[in-house]
Chains A and B, each alone.
Chain A
Amino acid sequence: MRVAWTADGESWRLDFRLDPEDSLTGTVTDGARVLLATNSCAVRLPRPLADVHPDLLALAAWTVVAPYTRRRIAFDRPVSPGVAAAIELGWGIEAGPVGGTPRDGSRLAVSYSGGADSAAVAAILRDAPLVHFQRVSHPRVPNRWAHYRSDVLARLAVATGRELAVVRSDLEFTLAEPRPGYPEHHAVAAGAALLADELDLGGIAFGYEMGSRWLGGGRYLLRYTPDNPMWSATGKWGTLFAAAGLRLVLPVGGVSEATTMRIALGSELREQVRWCLRGDDGGACGTCGKCLYKELIRAAIERRPLDTPITADRPVAAKWQKPPPYGGQEMIEYGCARVPGIESTPFATAARHLGATVESTSWLDRCYPPALEEIPDPWRKQVEDFMAEEVGLMSEDEVRRVESWGAR
């Protein structure tokens, strides 16, 4: 694979060419199979930059082309030995040319989507700048997904009143199958990477919570994942981000989605929190699968009946009519144990299978301490203090619940 960046004002265009051994099909770090749609994309920054450090350009490019690269990656500018080594060690891919000097920064920015998890991160890191990724159409790829209201989400991000950089990009349209989306989950930070020197960033904080980081996320079902290749600080992506002087930080990596939602809805960002991709300026759609899932969690923390027009026979509720395991099962257990009248909701079947109780799910209300140890030094204390004061740490028994997840 060969990649080249061209700057045109505030827009940075990435072109890439396949080597003989590369192909249109690829595998993402989480194991998902993807098909390439086209070999160019652009990242539009809020303002033009004189130049961007080659390590940051390489990192951003790698989040787009990694799935399709088989043997080697040739960047258009020499990268530092650390970045080349991280790619070689992590992926077994030869990276070059090598010759640059490494970079570093001091601030921590939040990769802010506007959902409950990243809003919780923004609420914890009160002074951190936010970087919001806004999907825009690709000039060469027909957009069949116009119902995705990235414009609404960007407006909500602006409405937070926080220090904010909105980065507009069509990089998701380089994916033909399964559908447009981040080629690697980390591509959401492509814009933050390009802005890292401009904002003096030494780290980027994501909203990935305990389920995504330690309990297998949507990919691995019922598996404790200390070795998570996407999000562990010492995994291949964690190592590569650190080599580019942009450490990967998960401030809510130790708490569940119930806790992130409680933090987000209890914060001053409450009015701007939006996890639905389809809703307009009037509010969330209330009818998509994500709205249903998040409503279960919200009803659970507010200890009230489920408020949804979705019935069990709707396609978005189909997976809850089947027996477990489910992706994000810990939150389904948590919700089913707490929502009054669950037996007359689309989660009735799941609730019957899971048989969860408030006691069996109370560990999801506290913070898993090893997640705090993963946070790099300059920012650990702030998060530790917040978790100790606002959430509380898990007992040894509760820690065992995390570490034996799926082994019961």
Chain B
Amino acid sequence: MVLLWKRAPVPARLRRAVRAWLDARYVTRVDHRHDIKDALREVQAVGRELATLRREVERLRTQVTALAAEPKQPAPPDSARRAKWDEAHRLATETATAMDRLLQNEVLLWQAVDRIDATLGKRVEGVA
């Protein structure tokens, strides 16, 4: 454009008109300055936010490491539930033990029944 303007003389009126047309299409210097300032503020704000986020990530990361290092302990059951479990366990153990005795007594009972049977059998034979 510059070269063209140097080589071919353009009438001053046309030149002004073109310049005015071009100027109307572009932002003014003042506006441009404002825009740059705004952009700078935006960038600074984003920078601050990024720093905050970094700190947050760091904080969460330490928290995760600490949690992983901690021995995994489920929340202790409340005392009422624990008492219930203990009671169920006691009952199961005692029932099983009682069942053992019961079964053994049954064996001994049959032994006694058979002994009586044999004695009665002999007596009946003696009478006959």
One of A32-40, A55-63, A155-163, A389-397 at the interface: A32-40
Q: Are A176 and B104 in contact (CB under 8 A)?
A: yes
A-contact bits for B112-126, CB 8 A (1 contact / 0 none): 001100100000000
The residue from B104, B108, B110, B115 contacting A37, defined by CB atoms under 8 A apart? B104
Query: How many residues of chain B are within 8 Å of chain A by beta carbon?
Result: 14
In the bound complex, residues from chain A placing their C-beta under 8 Å from that of B108 are 18, 24
The 3 closest A-B pairs by CB, nearest first: A142-B96, A38-B103, A18-B111
Instruction: Tell me whether A36 and B96 are in contact (CB under 8 A).
Output: no
Q: How far is the CA of A397 from the CA of B107 in the complex (A)?
A: 54
- Roughly how many angstroms separate A176 CA and B106 CA in the complex, as a whole number? 14
Which secondary structure dominates chain B's binding surface? helix
- The answer on a CB contact under 8 Å between B99 and A142 is yes
Using a CB–CB distance below 8 Å, which chain B residues touch chain A? 95-96, 99-100, 103-104, 106-108, 110-111, 114-115, 118
Residues from chain B with Cβ under 8 Å of A39 in the complex: 106-107, 110
Can you give 11 A-B contacts (C-beta < 8 A)? A17-B111, A19-B111, A20-B118, A38-B104, A39-B106, A140-B103, A141-B100, A141-B103, A142-B95, A142-B96, A176-B100
Given the complex of chains A and B, what is the CA–CA distance between A67 and B64 in angstroms? 62
A: which residues have CB within 8 A of B?
Answer: 17-20, 22, 24, 36-39, 140-142, 144, 176
Q: Total number of A-B contacts with CB less than 8 angstroms? A: 42
On whether the beta carbons of B106 and A38 are closer than 8 Å, the reply is yes
Return B119 CB to nearest CB of chain A, in Å: 10
In the complex formed, the residue of B with least CB distance to A15 is B110
Q: Bound complex: CA of A144 vs CA of B104, how far in Å?
A: 17
In the assembled complex, the Cα of A36 lies from the Cα of B103 at a distance in Å of 10
Query: Could you say which residues of chain A place their CB within 8 Å of the CB of B99?
Result: 140-142
A142-B96, A142-B99, A176-B100 are contacts. A38–B107 as well, Cβ < 8 Å? yes
- In the bound complex, residues from chain A placing their C-beta under 8 Å from that of B100 are 37, 141-142, 176
Partner of A18 from B95, B103, B110 at Cβ < 8 Å: B110
